[in-house]
Amino acid sequence: MRKPLADKIRPRELKDVVGQKHILGEGKILDRILQSGCITNMIFYGPPGIGKTTVANIIAEKGNKKFYKLNATNASLKDIQEIVSSLDTFEGINGILLYLDEIQNFNKKQQQSLLEFIEDGRITLISSTTENPYHYIFKAILSRSTIFEFKPIEKEDMGFALERAVKIISEEEKSINIQLKNEAKDYIINASNGDVRKAINALEISVYSTPPDENYNIVIDLDVARDSTQVKVVSYDMLGDNHYDILSAFQKSIRGSDADASLHYLARLIKAGDLISICRRLLVIASEDIGLAYPNSITIVKSCVDTAMTLGFPEARIPLAQAVILLATSPKSNSVISAIDRALEDLEKKEVGDIPLHIKDAHYSGAKSLSRGIGYKYPHNFKNNYVKQQYLPDNIRERVYYEYGYNKMEQTSREYWNKIKNE
């Protein structure tokens, strides 16, 4: 059985790991930890295929402890109990180093079962996760671990990994000569989106699916690379951290009036097929970030969203793009969300008091005997349909929630009401 190429080229030393220089470079934190030999509890966080497992294996092998490896996807409490039982054996005298891959798949009870042994140092935990550890990992474990964020691999480092893989295959298959064209290498790198494992897998498919020519040359050109990668990998998980990162970048780009960045993140969401999240976020943005600066924006966006939901992909991309460009290029105001949040905050923090009697419901017999509605002034009976009277409860009668935004629409409204109320 042929061993996968990604496993064949897996580095055995930190210096051979591509990327992650911010934590793996000479003199950086993980390098210093390895040199000291004092291995502490660690959590490696980042997208798949960027070296978390490789680095964890390297560090684990350097520890002077009994080494165990579990994948939380298929491990159980029984597996943990078996590991714990070895603490009382001669092999476990120096403690245990447990490498737990995909720790986010362990439930709270499974994570808690490790806590007692992590606390007293009998088990040193090195775990990896593709999800935000602050969302998925038990807080007591977080507080006893150092979190390291792994980042997508840069193009230069990806190229180095592919060249190394070509060299390894060539050394194994001595009868063939592999030629990886630059345009093919660039295509594989771009299609893999920072995931080294996917790039290596694409190269492996390219090599073993391409017959050698009469001179025993296997030429990996652009066409072969395209066939081997098929569709570019887009990093997106409907329930994961990346989902919220993209939506956050999407809204912040629209809020920042950058139409090009807004369209870029829309394209990512479209590529992932996440129509519902796009539509919900656009409707929120129309009120939260544009609001009264352009009140009609929510009407237009609602029409675009309804059209997109009716059409479905791929046509839905067109009305969605229309909504995004409209919102990104519209004047901005957050006066709406600021106003309602101030009002809600008062309900949480203040004793606001009762509704003034004169504006309570008075449409029933006996209301006057309860002083309901007495003294209420009907605004439409007055000039400009306005009369000054108290509406807020006594305790907060002077409270101001809505503040006019600095845009043409709201400033025009402010000038109108200043004129009316001061007459």
Region of residue 215 (phi > 0: left; psi between -120 and 50: alpha; otherwise: beta): alpha
Per-residue pLDDT of 11-66, as tens digits, reads 777 777 887 888 887 778 887 887 777 788 899 988 887 888 888 878 877 766 77
Tell me how far apart the alpha carbons of residues 275 and 290 are, in angstroms, rounded to a whole number: 21
Angle in degrees, CA 54, 190, 220, rounded to 5: 90
Calculate the CA 124 to chain-centre distance: 28
Region of residue 46 (phi > 0: left; psi between -120 and 50: alpha; otherwise: beta): left
pLDDT at 216: 79
DSSP 202-217: HHHHHHHTS---TTSE
Element (H, E) at 189: helix 182-192
Task: Say if residue 160 is exposed, middle or buried (CB neighbours under 10 Å; 0-12, 13-18, 19+).
Answer: middle
Handedness of CA 159, 165, 167, 170 (dihedral sign): negative
Residue carrying the six token digits 């590991």: 83
| pTM over 0.75, yes/no | no
Residue among 153, 168, 129 at smallest CA distance from 6: 168
Residue type, 13: E
Tell me how far apart the alpha carbons of residues 41 and 79 are, in angstroms, rounded to a whole number: 19
pLDDT at 202: 86
Print pLDDT tens along the chain (423 aa): 456 676 666 777 777 788 788 888 777 888 788 777 778 889 998 888 788 888 887 887 776 677 888 888 888 878 887 887 776 666 556 677 888 888 888 888 888 888 877 887 778 888 888 888 888 888 888 888 889 888 888 888 888 888 888 888 887 777 778 888 888 888 888 887 778 888 888 888 888 888 887 777 888 888 888 887 765 545 555 545 567 888 999 999 999 999 999 999 999 999 888 899 999 999 999 999 999 999 999 999 999 999 999 999 999 999 999 999 999 999 999 999 999 999 999 999 889 899 999 998 888 888 888 888 889 999 999 999 999 999 999 999 999 999 999 999 999 999 999 999 886
Q: Which domains does the chain have, with CATH numbers?
A: 20-149 (3.40.50.300), 155-229 (1.10.8.60), 241-329 (1.20.272.10)
Task: Say if residue 302 is exposed, middle or buried (CB neighbours under 10 Å; 0-12, 13-18, 19+).
Answer: middle
Residue among 169, 245, 257 at smallest CA distance from 210: 169
Beta-carbon contacts of residue 94 (< 8 Å; ≥ 6 apart): 64, 65, 66
Task: Say if residue 89 is exposed, middle or buried (CB neighbours under 10 Å; 0-12, 13-18, 19+).
Answer: exposed
